[in-house]
Every structure is written in C-alpha cells, then in structure tokens.
Amino acid sequence: MTISPNLVRLVYVSRNLVPSAEREAAVMAILGASRRRNPAMGVTGALLFSEDCFAQSLEGPMAAVEALYEHILLDERHDQVVLLEAAPVSQRDFGDWSMAFAGHCTQATLRFDTLVATPLDSSRRVLDVLRGAVGRAAKVLA
Amino acid sequence: MERIIEASPDRDRGPALCAACPARIPTDALTGLVDRSAFRARLEVALAGWQPDTPSPAVLMVDLDRFKAVNDTLGHPAGDALLRIAAKRLRAAVRSEDLAARLGGDEFAVLLAAPVSLEAAAKVAERLVELLGRPYMVQGQAASVGASIGLAFAEADCSTVDALIGRADMAMYQAKADGRGRVGFFSPMLQERAELRRQTEQDLRAALPLGQLELFYQPQYELALGQLSGFEALLRWRHPLRGLVPPDDFIPLAEEIRLISSLGEWVLRTACTEAARWPGTMSVAVNVAAQQFESNRLVGIVAAALQGAGLPGSRLELEITESALLNDPGGSVTAQLTALKAMGVAISLDDFGTGYSSLSQLRSFPFDRVKIDRSFVDDVAVVRAIAAMGASMGMRTTAEGVETAMQLKNLRREGCHEVQGYLLGRPLPASAIPDTLARQFVEATLLKEDT
C-alpha cells in the first residue's frame, strides 16, 4: 500500500454485546466480511476483542474510513462506541492486512471502562497491542 | 461488522410521497432529506387521513446539541459533513413508511406517519437520541454532538400541521431545558406554561403604556452616622388580574424579549424625579441591566433624566452586575461608566459574590461601591473578606437582605458602610416616603442602640 495524501487512522473501542459462547463465530464473521469488503475500499486495519469490548483500528482514504465507520457504528453486536482517535497519518500500521486479527485479549487494561477513561493513552495502548499481535503473527506466517 | 440493525445506512430510503407524482419532491440539497415544505405537505396528508380517537401519527422534532461548537472549532465544511452523516443515521433508523426531513440548520424532523403507540414512538425517539449521539468522524477528525428530541401526537385538539409541529417543538425545548440528549414528551402542562409565558410577554409589552409599572423604594442606612442615606428603586408590576408580579417573574423575561432597556429608561426618569423631592443629599440607587449599555445611549438617557428632574448627578447611584462587564471586549461599557462617573453619578457593583466575583473585573473600573449579595449576610467570613477588599480598593460596601439585629451587629463589626433589608425597612411606594423621612430619626436610634 502506498502512502495516500488523505490517509487517516481511526481507533475505536465499543462494548461487546456478543454472548461469550457465540463470540468466536461472530468475530470470524466480522473478519470474513472485512476481508471481502475492505480491499476494494483501500482500507486496512486490525481488530481485537476482550471480555467486554471490541477495539479496532481502521486506516485508509478519509472518505472510505468515514463510510466504513458509519457502517460499523450501526452494527447491533456492539454499542457505546467511543472514538479513541481519528487523525491523518503518514503511513499505515497494518498495510498488509485487510483486517488483521489480534485475538482475544485478557489484560485488565483492555477492559471497556479503563479504555474509555483515557482515550489518548488508550489509543496508543490498543495500537501497541494490535501491532504486537500482528507482528507475532507475521513472524509465524513468514 | 456486517449485520446491521435495521437497514444499511447507504440504502436510499427517500420518501415515496405519492406514486403518481414521483418527480419533484423538494429535497434539502445538503443532506438529500426532504425539506420543510415537503415535510409539511406529507404531514398534511397524514393528518387528513386520520380520524380522532384512533391511533394517531406522531412528529419528532430533532435538534442537535452543541452543533455550533463543531462549526466553530472544525469549520463549516466539517459541520456540513456532520449534518450529512446525521441525516444518514436518521434515515437508517426510521421505517420506510416514516419520513425524515431536514427543516433547516441543525434541525431535523421525523414523521411517524403510520399510527404508532406511545411506547413505539418513544422507542424510536430514544434510539435516535442514542444514534445521533454516537461519535462522528468528519473530515478525518472526531466530532461529537448530541440530540434533543420532542415528541407529540396528533389529537382531537391538535390536528393541524402547525399545531402538531408546535407541540413537538415545545417538547423539544423542554428536552433541551431538562439537560439535552434526551426525549421530551408533549404534555398539556407544557402547553399551559407556554401559553402563560406568551400571555405574560404580551401583557408585559403593554405594561408601560398602560401605567402598570411602579417603583418601590427600599431605605438604605449609613452605619457610622446611623442615619438614612437614600433608597434603592425597585421595579414592580401591578398586573390587573395577577396583582403585584414578583420581579423574578418578569425581569428575566423583559431581558429575554429585549424590553428591559425601555423599562430601564422609564425607571431612571421616574426615580430621578422622585429623588428630587427628597431632602438634602439623600440618594437614589437604580439598577441598570447589561442590555442598557448595548445601544451606547445610556449616558444620554441618564443626563436627560437628571436634567429633567433637576437632580444633581451626585445623588444618583447606578447599580450594575458583573454580567454587564463580562461581554465588553471593546471596552464600551467601561467607557460609558467613566462618562457617567464624570457626571458625578456613583457606580456600584451589585450582587457581588454570586457570579464570577472576578477581581480583575473589580479592578477594571473604579467602582464607588460593592454590594454584598443577600445570600452572604450570615456568612461572616465572606462579609469580612469583601469588606476588607472593598476598603483596600477604596470602595464602600453595602450589605443587602439584613433581617436580624444579630446580622446588623456582625455587619457593623466587619466594617460594612451601609445596610438595607427588612429589619430596617421594606420597599415602600413613593407615597410612603415622607413618613419614613419623618421617622428616620427613630430608626437612627435603633441603629445606634445596636452598638
């Protein structure tokens, strides 16, 4: 992926409403949909979920990210969407991934209430977790 | 995430006004929703097809909260982008038989055209509040607004477009007044309140021409000499049906409808004329509202009032509150106060302690006096602090709302210069002033005995 002049990144966290028994299937469905749809939009990103929340980073052309965010916002599998960050960036973190999956995170710091309390710190923390997980996955795949 | 609650927000859910005339439905160019005229036309149709005592159509008035802040901080293009997104969310959340419209600015409306229950309509409204309140991403940046929604149903006595929209508006304003980000429901009480307000407004506009306004005068006493020093003029409205209307019930309204300046001008003229009848150096204090400074006419009005009454400027005192100084970027208020002071008029800062109580404001003009708000009369520490501050800045201090001998004693001890309150005298009609002047020595004794 090349650097686009209007490249933006969005990081949100939301409350996960999927019952734990159905969580894995739900996440797989989300990832499948993302991988089908995102390449055409030029959007890449990564997703994680914890006990009570989803956290996702989307990066791509401004208009595509905005449209995708609005679409995601209306999904009934989550609510209380909090935008941790929305800003122009010079490069992508997950350029190789239509939607990387960082898995099920159990750290206490990735609980919904903790994350929304300090949006800017949380954005960095979520991105670190996503990058770390994706980096490890890349090594395994290499 | 794929599964969408009601429908894809991208699916066009434009209104199907009537099958025979699909062509020209007036739409709002920015959002693609129908505009006000189309909304009213569609509501008209819905009302025409409705029989009283059957489930009725409902109107939701939707107003975004804090939208102006988005325009101000992110710019108008971002504001427009946010309105487009809000319109999409609205459209996504209503049924295909309902109609979402943009009435103008950040004001939207939804017509629940097919009859719905109160519960169902409330649920739609609650959902809209929630959806519209979710964070927005506009032009690559995060933005947030809220939504206040008013809900009203057609009823036997409310079956016209204007009446129903009016009720939904009333409910929306109530939602705003109750703290925003919520749904307000129309109720007859809201209507009564709105009607009372409208009636009061109409009556108030006529009060001055009809001679229903009066001034009452509350005595003010100088503590060191123990004598009557003057009166504060207080505006009263004698309503033909309601009797004496308390100032809190009409002065804020007079400010809101921008009537306060003409009332204030009358107060100045009347008070000066009255004070000219009093003996010696006795002064009259007149309250001046922030709005009276706006037209830059106040100095001329005061000069004319003094001249017309033959009252020296030194016997007039103008009381202003901090709010008059708050919005004075060009220094126009300060300039007017300076000109008034040059005419010998004393300037006092009223209600001190209840607002910002800003020291920089106290320093921005050489006030002659600070008036300590009545709510502090029992708080010795506050009284002491304000009196000391006044003394060190060369201002006299007056305490208001003195009701007990104990309060009087404390105020004297803490160095207050003047006092007023029910203990020493209630506000009186002008006709009762000669009596008070005759009795002032009796009260002077009370003041002295207190020490």
What is the structure's pLDDT at B418? 95
Q: According to the model, what pLDDT value does residue B442 have? A: 57
Q: Of B139, B158, B186, which residue constitutes the final position of a domain?
A: B186
> Where residue B9 falls among pLDDT bands split at 50, 70, 90?
very low
Pair of tokens at residue B451: 């020490």
Whole-number pLDDT of residue B17: 47
Note whether A30 contacts B1, CB cutoff 8 Å: yes
How does the average pLDDT of chain B come out, rounded?
A: 89
Question: How high is the pLDDT of residue A24?
Answer: 85
Range of the domain at B165: 36-186
Domain assignment of residue A2, yes or no: no
Instruction: Look at residue B8 in the predicted model and tell me its pLDDT.
Output: 39
In tens, the pLDDT along B159-199 reads 999 999 999 999 999 999 999 999 999 999 988 988 888 99
CA distance B109 to B243: 41
Residues A65-94: what's their mean pLDDT? 90
Residue-wise DSSP of A36-73: HHHHHHT-EEEEEE-SSEEEEEEEEEHHHHHHHHHHHH
Q: Is residue B264 part of a domain?
A: yes
pLDDT in tens, A111-122: 888 888 888 788
Scanning B113-152 for CB atoms below 8 A from A yields: 130-131, 134-135, 137-142, 144
Gap between the terminal Cα atoms of chain B: 80
pLDDT value, residue A140: 65
| Domain final residue pick, B186, B219, B243 | B186
Determine whether the interchain pair A81/B135 forms a contact, defined as Cβ–Cβ distance below 8 Å.
yes
Report the first-to-last Cα separation within chain A, whole angstroms. 19
- CB contact at 8 A, A126 and A83: no
Regarding whether B271 and B417 lie in a shared domain, the answer is: yes
pLDDT digit string (tens) for B22-73?
Answer: 456 788 999 999 999 999 999 999 999 888 888 889 999 999 999 999 999 9
Q: What are phi and psi of B317, to 5 degrees?
A: -125, 135
Sequence letter at residue A13: V
In a domain, A1, yes or no: no
Tell whether the model's pLDDT for residue B91 goes beyond 70.
Answer: yes
pLDDT tens digits, one per residue of B325-342: 887 878 899 999 999 999
Under an 8 A CB cutoff, do B141 and A75 touch?
no
Residue A73 falls within a domain, yes or no?
A: yes
Percent of chain B residues topping a pLDDT of 70:
92
In a domain, B376, yes or no: yes
Residue B42 within any structural domain of the chain: yes
Q: What would you measure as the largest C-alpha separation in chain A, in angstroms?
A: 42
Beta strands in B260-306 (DSSP E): 283-287
Q: Are residues B145 and B262 in the same domain?
A: no
Instruction: Note whether B260 and B307 are same-domain residues.
Output: yes
* Residue B324 binned pLDDT confidence (cut-offs 50, 70, 90): confident
CATH number for the domain including B290?
3.20.20.450
B180 and B227 assigned to the same domain: no
Q: Are A49 and A14 in contact (CB under 8 A)?
A: no
CB atoms within 10 A of CB B341: 17
Closest partner residue to B1 (CB to CB) among A66, A77, A83 is A77
**Residue B97 shares a structural domain with residue B211:** no
Say what the pLDDT of residue B354 is. Answer: 81
Comparing CA positions, the residue from B90, B107, B118, B126 lying closest to residue B14 is: B90
Shortest alpha-carbon distance between residue A65 and chain B (Å): 8
How far away is chain A from the Cα of B123, in angstroms, using its nearest Cα? 16
Residues B234, B247: contact at Cβ < 8 Å? yes
Using the predicted structure, report yes or no on whether residue B15 has a pLDDT greater than 80. no
Model confidence pLDDT, tens digit, residues B200-255: 999 999 999 999 999 999 999 999 888 899 999 999 999 999 999 988 889 999 99
Are the beta carbons of B5 and A76 separated by less than 8 Å? yes
Same domain, B157 and B231: no
Q: Taking CB atoms and an 8 Å cutoff, what residues of chain B touch A49? A: none
Q: Is a pLDDT exceeding 50 seen at residue B20?
A: no
- As given in the structure block, the two tokens for residue B340 are 């008034």
The verdict on B85 touching A (C-beta cutoff 8 Å) is yes
A37: domain range?
Answer: 7-141
> Which residues on chain A are in Cβ contact (under 8 Å) with B11?
none
Residue B443 has a pLDDT of 60
**Of B3, B134, B137, which has the smallest distance from its Cβ to A86's Cβ?**
B137
d(CA B386, CA B403): 19
Helix (H, G, I), strand (E, B) or coil at B303: helix
Q: Residue B215: exposed, middle, or buried by beta-carbon count in 10 A (0-12, 13-18, 19+)?
A: buried
**B134 and B218 part of one domain:** no
Does residue B74 sit at the A interface (CB-CB below 8 Å)? Answer: no
- What pLDDT does residue B448 have? 64
Distance from C-alpha of B129 to C-alpha of B152, rounded to nearest angstrom: 16
What average pLDDT score do residues B136-165 get? Answer: 93
Identify the pLDDT of residue B176: 94
At B449 the pLDDT is 53
pLDDT tens profile A45-69: 999 888 888 999 999 999 999 999 9
Over residues A95-104, the mean pLDDT reads 84
What DSSP character marks residue B432? G
Predicted confidence at residue B23, as pLDDT, reads 54
Asked if B3 and A77 come within 8 Å (Cβ–Cβ), the reply is yes
On the question of pLDDT at A97 being above 90, the answer is no
**Residue B192 within any structural domain of the chain:** no
Q: Say yes or no to pLDDT of B16 above 80.
A: no
Q: Are residues B286 and B366 in the same domain?
A: yes
Choose the weakest-confidence range: B60-64, B83-87, B314-318, B361-365.
Answer: B361-365
Q: Provide the number of structural domains found in chain B.
A: 2
- Name the residue among B332, B324, B327, B330 with its Cα closest to residue B349: B324
As to burial, measured by CB atoms within 10 angstroms (0-12 exposed, 13-18 middle, 19+ buried), residue B4 is middle
The predicted structure's pLDDT at residue B330: 83
Query: Domain tally for chain A?
Result: 1
Considering the domain boundaries, does residue B16 fall inside one?
no
With bands split at pLDDT 50, 70 and 90, how would you rate the model's confidence at B3? very low
CATH number for the domain including A31? 3.30.70.100
CATH of the domain at B111: 3.30.70.270
B294 has which bridge partners?
A: none
Is residue B422 predicted with pLDDT exceeding 50?
A: yes
Over residues B133-159, mean pLDDT: 93
Q: Measure the CA–CA gap between B392 and B280, rounded to whole angstroms.
A: 29
B163 plus B215 within the same structural domain: no
Q: Is residue B12 part of a domain?
A: no
Same domain, B152 and B238: no
Q: Do B179 and B212 belong to one domain? A: no
Q: Is residue B15 part of a domain?
A: no
Q: Is residue B426 part of a domain?
A: yes
Q: Report whether pLDDT(B273) > 90.
A: yes
Q: pLDDT value at position B445?
A: 63
Query: The tokens of B102 are what?
Result: 């943009």
Q: Is the CB of A33 less than 8 angstroms away from the CB of B134?
A: no
Helix (H, G, I), strand (E, B) or coil at B216: strand
Clarify whether residues B275 and B388 are in a common domain.
Answer: yes
